[in-house]
Amino acid sequence: MTTQNVNAEPTRQTLVLGGTGKTGRRVAERLEKLGLPVLIGSREGQLPFDWQDAATWEPLLREVRAVYLTYYPDLAVPGAVETVRSFIELAKSSGANRIVLLSGRGEEEAQRAEQVLMQSGVDWTILRCSWFSQNFSESFLLEPVLEGTVYLPAGEIREPFVDVDDIADVAVAALTDDRHIGELYELTGPRLMTFAEAMSDISQATGRDIQYVPISHADYAAALAEAGLPPEFEWLVNYLFTHILDGRNESLANGVEQALGRKPREFADYAKEAAATGVWSVTNSLAL
């Protein structure tokens, strides 16, 4: 990966929003390995960042050159586009001249946020991503995998699961190399897979029998409510399965290869690596 112009402004930092999350953590680690100054944007940071409190934005933007922008909980939630617009305007006026946006594939609301960035006047790159592979090991599907049965209202829909390490590699390239300015990369994995096939790969990697059981949207919504999830997260997950997983994303894209000159990572390789960490071990299951 080339890194042109990364030292053009050595005293200014790259702000990584969601810097403790699935993609942000990896982006920050990669930038730090390149010797670049990084500022983590999170609620728990030394300078806390909260999307719902605009007063926390300006202190983090004072010495920022570029921003990796991830919106919590998701660009699909009501009001997200307007909030992102306000942040981008402040970032631009504070001197940030490059923004890389993590966006969602097949989400109309996310595409509205993309348009806001495109029209902002800053150097931009958009990463429009499919379902993360790591949702099975670092997110809300970890516990069902540990329990051995994943109930989802996804039927036989096929998804091109994308590895977040690929996303992070593309994000870092976009933050550090001028050749990615003005590019919209649609990032997917190399294979369309049903959730049953994903569970088969995880089963093979773990040596456990992990089943996928399709259920109705109504039963899934009831299960989310019974689990006591925060309302915004319950809404988001329900939205994902009722609006996005309808077949609209049953196609492959070549954004990873366009950006990095290599193929995206196979889901089976992700499963083997995740299994090797012990994240899906029976011991972890008993600890929950």
> Cα separation of 184 and 255, whole Å?
8
> Cα separation of 160 and 197, whole Å?
11
CA gyration radius, the chain = 19
Q: Which residues pair with 152 in a beta bridge?
A: 214
> Cα separation of 235 and 83, whole Å?
18
DSSP three-state, residue 177: coil
Q: What sign for the dihedral angle of Cα 202, 275, 223, 128? A: negative
Domain boundaries along the sequence of the chain: 13-192+247-287
Name the phi and psi angles at 5, rounded to 5: 65, 20
Which superfamily, per CATH, for 13-192+247-287?
Answer: NAD(P)-binding Rossmann-like Domain (3.40.50.720)
Tens of pLDDT, residue by residue, the chain (288 residues) = 444 444 444 458 999 999 999 999 999 999 999 999 999 999 998 889 999 999 999 999 999 999 999 999 899 888 999 999 999 999 999 999 999 999 999 999 999 999 999 999 999 999 999 999 999 999 989 999 999 999 999 999 999 999 999 999 999 999 999 999 999 999 999 999 999 999 999 999 999 999 999 999 889 888 878 887 777 777 787 788 878 888 999 999 999 999 999 999 999 999 999 999 999 997 765 555
Angle value at C-alpha 152, between 148 and 157, nearest 5 degrees:
115
